[in-house]
Structure 1
Amino acid sequence: MDPTATNTTIYVGRYRYFFQVAAITPAGVGQFTELKNITVTPNIPASPTDLTATGNSQDRTAHLEWKKPDSKVKLYYIYYAWPYSDDTVIGDVKCCNTTLTETTVKDLSPNVTYIFKVTAFNDDGESLQSDPASVTIVGDPLPRPTNLNATPTGFHTIELTWSIDDTSHNWMYGIYYSKSGHYLTEPKEIVNDTKATVPGLESDVLYIFQVGVVGPVGKGPQSIPCVGATQFDPSLQPRDIRARAVDFTTIEVTWRSPRDLPTKLKYKIYYGIPKAGQIEFQAVNVPDTKDTSLAYNITGLIPGAPYTIKLSNGEMTAAMIAKEVNVTTLSSSAPTSLKVFELPRADNDIVGVTLEWTAPDRILNKSLGYAVFMAIGDKPVSWKHQTSSDINVTAIVGLEKNVTYNFKVCTDQYMNYYGEFSDVAQVTLSDTAGSDPHTAHHKKSSKMAAIVAPIIGVVAMLAVALVIFIVRHHRLQRSFTQFANSHYDSRSGTTTFSVEGDGLGEEEDSPMIRGFSDDEPLVVA
């Protein structure tokens, strides 16, 4: 991650956000950047106007008044800042809120100039800050604690010590601390000594501390921040453990250290396969590391086996084990395109089916072959291993008529673990003979032939008739031409018919046929 950039979650219901950044190291907290803000939605109220501040040094208060903006307001937030040093101003600190357009801020420190700002808030978010108004509380300044030190004394405690130059009063001290470095307006602990032990902290967590006078005559300036970390608790559990299958025999385990501080730790990964409700764990040691985000590969596992993973930062005890995760190593992927066909029945009336499928894309070993599982009923519940096959086709016989069968296929088992199952193929066997894919294809071809053959016959007959007509036409044309040439005399224009030669019969009374002239057409009906 880029150490100069981070992502911040925007929470629902708040639409305007303010940001400051400071560097935090074991040596202390650096100076905060300039205050930045972002508007998530424009539907927020306008800023209050005409803010005024009047100080009362006697009771160390400041009275604020302002005008309501021209929009709906549910609440007003009051912020103030004050000089932390000659070149640093602390703020803006949200000190209080009100539903009115005025309020009084109490417990201010004498000889300190406060800068106040007000914002308006409604259901759409918070407005921009108003123009500032300042007030100075007159009086002798309260002392500021110095030489603040933090020393871890246990998994959940840190001891603080500090000094105070002014011993004229029996001062009451407020202890301020947080994990984020945000300046707090109210102390979490109040003591009357320059030494205190802060309890109830988280183990191996970095905290920022400040101390300031809170009585008996007002709230004084806070000390320079001090950073301290609690001791590491070895019983802390690793965080965010995850596991994923990398290949047939490898699982990658990832996790985060119990805390984000770079503490050198030794981790142990426990893994095993559940059998009969029990798990016999094996362990692998991870080399010592200060990394806060870690990953480790467990190798030599069984393909397709379900593993339970546990992780600890030392020897396995109930308090140190992270929440277990379950993961299955990769196995052969599922066969595809499973099809089932009813076998044709001969005189022996054997009832059965043929199964065909496509080999899987990912396979552990082709020599394993395939396993076929079968279940009965429309909604199968109980599956049984039916047969095995070295190739992607097999036949199953001995089934019953009018029964619904379901089939699924996978790569056959390796070390008692099968590959992934295919989709389910279902068939209901009929009373009559079924068909395998070849028989079905033959029947389909026969049907096509029964339709096409008559059509081809009709076309052939039409073609033969056409040929006969053409031949006879040519013969008639040729016979007429020969007849005309033999009986017509173009010189005399007469046509002669011989009774004998023409075969017209011996009729003496046959009339003479008059010839035609050249300019008259010869018409023969």
Structure 2
Amino acid sequence: GSQPAAGDVTIVAAPENTTVVAGESAVLECMAAANPTPFVSWIRQDGKPVSTDVIVLGRTNLLIPSSQPHHSGVYVCRANKPQTRQFVTAAAELRVLALPSISQAPETISRTRASTARFVCRAEGEPAPAVHWLKNGQPLLSNGRVKVQSSGSLVINQIGLEDAGYYQCVAENSLGTACATAKLAVIVREGLPSAPKRVSAVSLSSTTVLVSWERPEHNSEQIIGFSLHYQRAVGTDNVEYQFAVNNDTTELQVKDLEPNTNYVFYVVAYSQLGASRTSSSIIVQTLEDVPSAAPQLSLSSMTPGDIRVTWLPPPPELSHGKITKYKIDYCTLKEADQVTSIEVGGNETQITLYSLHPNKVYKVRIAASTSVGYGAPSEWTQHRTPDRDNQTHVPFAPTELKVRAKMESLLITWQPPANHAQISGYKLYYREVGTEESSDESPLDGAEDESWDVGPIKLKKKVKQYELTRLAPGKLYEVKLVAFNKHEDGYAAVWKGKTEKAPVTAVDPPVQKGPPLPPVQVYAESNSSTSIWLRWKKPDFTTVKIVNYTVRFSPWGLKNASLVTYYTSSDEDILISGLKPYTRYEFAVQSNGVGIDGPFGSVVERFTLPDRPSTPPSDLRLQPLNPYAVQVHWCPPAEPNGIIVEYLILYNANNTQPDDMWTLLTREGNIFSTEVHGLESDTRYYFKMGAKTVVGSGPYSNVKDVHTLREKLSDVLDIHSVTGIIVGVCLGLLCILFCMCASFRSSKHR
């Protein structure tokens, strides 16, 4: 810049960036010159006020006697020329290094088995401390169940008894460490189911495994469902997936697995009380599949009549098994229907194609095979063989061109051409190729430079590697490398392939693919004769957001689908009304995620409360026994709405009288016939009946009538009367006989 004019304010000693350890003193110097003497002030660049414990030395310098982390920041020195608006500034950063300190320590917690524990640990310090965890003094590694999050928090899913212990959060930077400890206690309730037995897994295909198990030995009848867990068997930071499984299922097909990969599976049983121990684990390998990607080709020529083809084997996640062989197809660009194929072994990474025509454009592709078969071939890659008549000055193509594809870059390595003594350097070109572009278009004919997105990138002759950056993930690119000399460019080595795809998963790991588990502690409570409250709690664990619940209910024991009703509730309870009185209903609840429904939980049963009978006793029948008695038969009401405690029998010879003028008889609720005595003979009587629960009486039946029998002589002289007459006649005869005997004896004595 320009020199200040005489008398302008200038800073002659500017503050310098300073780093101190917390507790040490720090001085920021600032000396300014002007006439008259300038006024110097200090501010913080972030707008915060300068701490009150900061001292100004000698009117210009800044002293911080005991530096602390809050003193860190950029300080700006401003020098003003008095009585003018002239000023200049200078800035410097103060960095205060500090030992780590735990600002939020983890807390001791108790959790039930199979639930989730979260320990929060936040640390401060400068430099920012790295946080890691120990369990009982031993380093804790992330795996499917145990995750150390980027924030430093520790999350343990599917807690088992083995997870109980002391967890230490350790914060560490270059100055030292800080530590905080918390305890995890694992609660096991009585009456839990034991672990599922005999877990087995069979690979059905390259992506599907059938997992089966047997129900637990103890408390099996209380199970409401199972959860199946699996993750890759190899690696330290694998994601554990879980499926919720209905309680009447003991097998599940796990799909969407990676081919030729080892997975470990285990099963947990759930009752209303909680989770069982985990079952024993089993490892199974999925079957091989064809490779999902072809190797990426590089082409170069050593002579006008050959093409050297080199490639890198596909990585394990793309090979889907052991590569057993490769197939290379090639033809001239103008004779695309005359393709020659060559197979080489799975250990090969290069082959030279001989007996080719000079100065011709060839296209080449490659496919890899496992024991299952060949995968899709690579894109066609074009290459022009050298011209036989013009080899003296033309550099050959660079050799061993290899490209390591990353997500946003391509790392290119090569070796010099055979006649490298003649070369001055290299030119590198690349372009993005749409997969829909015709492979017959030849960028190698005509003004080829114009068809490249980027290039030439000129490189010195000693350079043997270069990285192309700022590329798009998962895109097809073509790379061309030529050596050049003072006369002309040499023949090209070309490569075509894709950058790595961006990971599908976000910052958070993939979550459970399976449906959510059903709610726990489902409880039904009778509310009235026509309604029942149903209440439940969210499942103990779920990695799927539950948006609502579906309640299924029907009269108990009935399998008629038309009687099954479904309700949806976003709350953890629902009042189900419109039910029949004193009827046993069965209920089940399922959890619903976004676009995925879980299984229904175990069935709970409940009666509605009783009510008055809504129908009278049925099938009332009357039968006269004699002139004075009638036999009454009946059946229970069709809708008793409770336990019948009493039957009411009303009868009268005059059916026009009100009910309270009729004669009332009552019988216990378990009796269905009775005799009514004391009636008049040859009389029409009218009967009607009602039934009664503890709540009250229901309606009376329609009136039925019966005619008592007419009296007969046998009805007048009944057996008792006849017996009395016979006895009286006999006694009279005995008296007459006795008198006659007495008279006869008295006449004899005279």
TM-score above 0.5, yes or no: no
Higher strand share: 2
Q: Relative CO higher for 1 or 2, CA cutoff 8 Å, sep ≥ 6?
A: 1
TM norm structure 1:
0.35
